A and B are shown apart, each in its own frame.
Chain A
C-alpha cells in the first residue's frame, strides 16, 4: 500500500507542528529552491486549467450562454480562492475535529500562522496551500458542466461556496490529511481522482437530475457554438494537468517525473482510443471526441499518476476512454441532461482510475495485496459518492429555497448572458 512518501512525511510534519502549536519558521528547515520553483510553477499551471476549462465548456454551449458558462469557471476562481484562505486550508489540512468530519487549525485561519513556515518537504507552506487551493477552485467549476445553460448566477455562487465548505473540504481532509480516515486506511489518490473528479462528477449528476433538462432537450439540437475555443481549452487542460499530477508529488525529483510521464501517456492513450472507437462506431472521429478522450485519460490517471508505470498509464487511458464513451451513449438512452458530461467523463473516469490502478501499481504485489487495496479503493470511492451525492442533494434544496437555482423559462430562453450578466459574448456578430 504505497502512498507518496514525501507527502506522508510532509503531512506528518504538519500535524506535529499543529499539535505542538509552535511555529518553527525557517529555523531548521531550509527552502529547496528547486522544489519550490516547481511547486510555484505547478500552482500556476493548475490555475491556468481553470480558464482552460472555461474555454472548453464555453465553446460547447450555445452563443447566448457563452459568458454565463465561462463565468461559472471564473467565479470559482474568485469565490473558492477567498474561502480557501479564510477557512478552506484549515478545514482541509488542519487536525481532526468533530470526529474527523473535517480538520481545523487556528494557525491556518486566514493563513495567519504560516507566513514564514517552511515545511519538511523544503517548500514554504504558502506554496503548498496555494497549490492545494487551486484544486478547490477547479472542482466546483467542473460541476457547472452538468447544469450548463439553465442555472441562475446567484444560486450558482451560493451553491459552490456551500459545496466547497461542506463537501470538498471534508473529502480533501479525509483523503490527503495525515489524520484523515481514508488516508489512514491507505486509500491511494495521488492527485485527486476521488477528491476532485468523482466528487464533482457525482454532484453534477445529482444536480443535473434535480434541475431537470434544458428546455427543448433532447428533441432540439443544441450543438457547440465554438469548437475552436473548446479545443484550445482542451490543450490548456492537458498541459495544465502536468501541474495537477506532477505537482502533487510535492517534490521535484523522480516521483515528479514518474507522475508526468504517466499523465502524458494516459492522455494520449485516451485520445487515440476514443478517436478509434468513435471512428469505427460512428464513421467519423470528431474533434470533440478526441478532446473527450484526452480528458478521460487524464482523469483516470489522476489518482494513479505516481503509482503506475507508462504501460499502466496506457491501459488506464484506453480503458477510461472506452468506459466514458459507453457512459455517454448510456446517457442518451437514460435521458438525463448532464449537458457537458461532468459525470460521463469526470465521474466515470475517476471511478475507473481509482479502481483499475490497483492492478497496475508499480512494484511486485501479491494477489492478496492487490485485492486488499481494491477493497480500500472501493470503500473510498463508495464513501465519496454517497457523501457527495447526499450532501449535494441537500444543498440543492437549500439553495433553491434561498435564491432559486433553476433559471426561469424566460431567462433560459433569453440566454444566461443577457439574463444574468447583461453582456454579449460574441461581439463580432455586430456588424461594426
Chain B
C-alpha cells in the first residue's frame, strides 16, 4: 500500500537457532546419519544413552510388578538455524521409523531454542557459527 513506511513492520532480529534432540534406535543410526548428510545437515553429536518410554515390558514375576530394564538408544543433538529445522526433523522421522507405519520404540524428537552459538576456532557467534 502506498504511504506506509518500509520500516513499519521492523522486527528485532533474533538469533533464530534451535537445538534438535532426537532419541532413536541404535540400529537406525547409520541410516539417519547418511540421510541427514545427504540433505546437507552435517553437524551432529551422537551419544549412547539408555532409557525407556512407552516400551514398558511390565511383567508380573512371582506376583510382583517388575520395573522394566533400561533399553539402549542413541541420542542425536543437532544445532541448526531455524530454516533447517523442518528438513532435519522430516529426515530423522523418515529414516528412524522401523517401517512406514512405525513401531513403539522408534523414538522421540524435541526442539529447544539456542541462546548462543560460538565457533571455538574463530570465535564467531550466531547463525554463521552453526
Seen from chain A, the residues whose Cβ lies within 8 Å of a Cβ on chain B are: 64, 410, 413-415, 418, 424, 429-432
Contacts and interface: CB of A to CB of B under 8 A. Distances in A.
Contacts of A410: 31
Contacts of B26: 64, 418, 424
B30 A430 contact: no
Interface in B49-107: 49-50, 69-72
B72 A413 contact: no
A432 B27 contact: no
A418 B27 contact: yes
B38 to A, nearest CB: 13
A233 to B, nearest CB: 25
Contacts of A418: 26-27
B70 A432 contact: yes
A231 to B, nearest CB: 24
Contacts of A414: 27-28, 30-31
Contact of A429 (B31, B34, B72): B72
B69 A432 contact: yes
A2 to B, nearest CB: 55
12 contacts: A413-B34, A414-B28, A414-B30, A414-B31, A415-B27, A418-B26, A418-B27, A424-B26, A429-B48, A430-B50, A431-B70, A432-B50
Kindly list the 9 A-B residue pairs having the minimum CB-CB distance in the complex, ordered from nearest: A413-B30, A431-B50, A414-B27, A430-B72, A418-B27, A430-B50, A429-B48, A432-B70, A413-B31
Nearest to A432: B70
A415 B31 CA distance: 11
> Does more than half of chain A's interface fall in helix, strand or loop, or is it mixed?
helix
Nearest to B33: A413
A222 to B, nearest CB: 12
Contacts of B28: 414
Nearest to A412: B30
A220 to B, nearest CB: 10
A264 to B, nearest CB: 42
A431 B34 CA distance: 27
Given A415-B27, A430-B72, A432-B50, 11 more contacts: A410-B31, A413-B31, A414-B28, A414-B30, A418-B27, A424-B26, A424-B72, A430-B50, A430-B70, A431-B70, A432-B69
Contacts of B30: 413-414
A430 B26 CA distance: 11
B69 to A, nearest CB: 7
Contacts of A424: 26, 72
A424 B26 CA distance: 10
A415 B27 CA distance: 7
Contacts of B48: 429
Nearest to B27: A414
Contacts of A429: 48, 72
A397 to B, nearest CB: 29
A227 B48 CA distance: 20
- The CB with the most chain B CB atoms within 10 A, among A64, A414, A418, A432, is that of A414
Nearest to B71: A430
Interface in B4-60: 26-28, 30-31, 34, 48-50
Contacts of B71: 430
A432 B48 CA distance: 13
A410 B34 CA distance: 12
- The CB with the most chain B CB atoms within 10 A, among A410, A413, A424, is that of A413
Contacts of A431: 49-50, 70
A269 to B, nearest CB: 41
Contacts of B49: 431
Nearest to A409: B31
A64 B31 CA distance: 13
- The CB with the most chain A CB atoms within 10 A, among B26, B28, B69, is that of B26
Contacts of B69: 432
A205 to B, nearest CB: 27
Contacts of B70: 430-432
A67 to B, nearest CB: 14
Contacts of B50: 430-432
B12 to A, nearest CB: 43
A427 to B, nearest CB: 9
Contacts of A64: 26-27
A376 B70 CA distance: 63
A431 B71 CA distance: 9
Contacts of A413: 30-31, 34
Contacts of B31: 410, 413-414
A431 B48 CA distance: 9
B66 to A, nearest CB: 14
A415 B34 CA distance: 15
A430 B49 CA distance: 7
A429 B48 CA distance: 7
Nearest to A419: B27
Contacts of B27: 64, 414-415, 418
A145 B78 CA distance: 36
A408 to B, nearest CB: 12
A415 B72 CA distance: 15
